[in-house]
Structure 1
Amino acid sequence: MKDFKLYTITGEEFHPNRDLVTVMEQAILGGSDIIQLRDKTNSKKVVFEKAKQLRELTKKYGVTFIVNDHIDVALAVDADGIHIGQDDLPIEEARKIVGENKIIGLSTHAIEEAREAERAGADYIGVGPIFHTKSKVDVVDPVTTDYIRQVVQEITIPFVAIGGIKLHNVDQVLEAGAARICAISEIVGAEDVQSVCQQFIEKINQKVKL
């Protein structure tokens, strides 16, 4: 997969009066190089329609497009990959469905899960939640930046830090060794989405040489 710096996940509850595609386009213009559609409440048909729109948008800008959980929707719109959690299909089974050319990302919350993800063939892992977050209702306790340091020492596949990351605390995450950042509410809930993304990119570039 193409390397990346800023990973933005949809969170329509944070911008109720603004169009999904418009908000995500602003994120891309600000520097987001992976977009993930995450929708755990709407019908499959609604998720599919959103995925079609975001697939068109991400193709326009040459940005990687990931679908959370809905493997069938990801395949239907030819997304670049899927993101799954610890309670979803095992990576090996997901790989049989999506094939060798699709990206598979996995959320991890402990070093044992990270090791298993790498062994099983994940293309990247999510590492978090680093801080308290309100973007997920089923979230585990914060793993803190200590988990980032563990992953840096042991894991060779790319990882993205996620969970409660804001402009005011991202420096702690980068100093712990993260080179890729994921944010939801801080980006999509911002009044100026593009500017917030640009500020994240500037902070990443100051700390990290990918």
Structure 2
Amino acid sequence: MKLDNKSLLLYLVTDRSWLGDHSLASQVEESLINGVTFLQLREKKLDNESFLKLAIEMKELAHCYNVPFVINDNLDIAIKSDSDGVHIGQDDISIEEARRIIGKDKILGVSVGTVEEAILAEKLGADYLGVGAMFSTNTKENTRDISFDTLKNICESVKIPVVGIGGINNENILSLEGSGINGVAVISAILAQKDISKSTRELKDICENIFI
């Protein structure tokens, strides 16, 4: 599945911390039905067999709704599951090596925090950039908050699409209007909510109003 700018409007990153009595598949499908446009599977603690099984399940689910699906960090699982691509951070495998492994036709997303990192990532083959953390978040440790001006400068410095990530919710998302991003990546703003359907629809409406 190919990437276009609209695919990144409302980007969901998975996290099983808020499953409760639900399955990840049921939560993800609820979000896909209600407007999520891109899906990333992020797992740090699963064994490879379980990770691969989950990746295949998530890919099939995403494709039912014509939504691109990528794996966070793990290129081996990305290849074995035939995901649409992979998303890597600055401390993961190099961009050049990731591109070589997944091939030219797969989606490669890269996390960046500076204009210099953004320009280099685009030059080395990234298809889109994730910029953050925009706001303080408990989901990921050792993150640095990115200013609005830095976000805007990054968007103006590259031609590939950019998504903001990190602590974004329906209360602070409006502050990103005018930055030049193509959308936002969220976790708890959808998955930690009691009503995933409502939360997804509300975020999607806001995104459509300020990013398209």
Which of 197, 202, 211 is the aligned partner of 1:199? 202
1:147 equivalent in structure 2: 150
Q: What RMSD over aligned residues (CA atoms) do the two structures have, in Å?
A: 1.2
After TM superposition, the runs of 4+ consecutive aligned structure 1 residues lying more than 4 A away are none
2:161 equivalent in structure 1: 158
Structure 1 CA distance, aligned partners of 2:195 and 2:71?
25
User: Which letter does structure 1 place at the counterpart of 2:145?
Assistant: P
TM-score (normalised: structure 2): 0.94
Matching of residue 35 in structure 1 with residue 35 in structure 2: no
Structure 2 CA distance, aligned partners of 1:18 and 1:174?
34
TM-score (normalised: structure 1): 0.95
Structure 2 CA distance, aligned partners of 1:136 and 1:166?
15
Q: How many aligned residue pairs are there?
A: 208
8 Å CA contact 2:112, 2:131 repeated in 1:
yes
1:73 equivalent in structure 2: 77
Range with greater deviation from structure 2 (188-197 or 119-128):
188-197
2:4 equivalent in structure 1: 2
Range with greater deviation from structure 2 (122-131 or 199-208):
199-208
Deviations 1:36-73 (A, max 9, x none): 00001111111111101101111211110010011111
Structure 1 CA distance, aligned partners of 2:156 and 2:104?
27
User: Which letter does structure 2 place at the counterpart of 1:95?
Assistant: R
Structure 1 CA distance, aligned partners of 2:129 and 2:206?
21
8 Å CA contact 1:27, 1:187 repeated in 2:
yes
Give the secondary-structure state (helix, strand or coil) at the position aligned to 2:206: helix
Give unmatched runs, 5+ long, in structure 1: none
8 Å CA contact 2:190, 2:199 repeated in 1:
yes
1:96 equivalent in structure 2: 100
8 Å CA contact 2:137, 2:166 repeated in 1:
yes
Give unmatched runs, 5+ long, in structure 2: none
Structure 2 CA distance, aligned partners of 1:141 and 1:57?
33
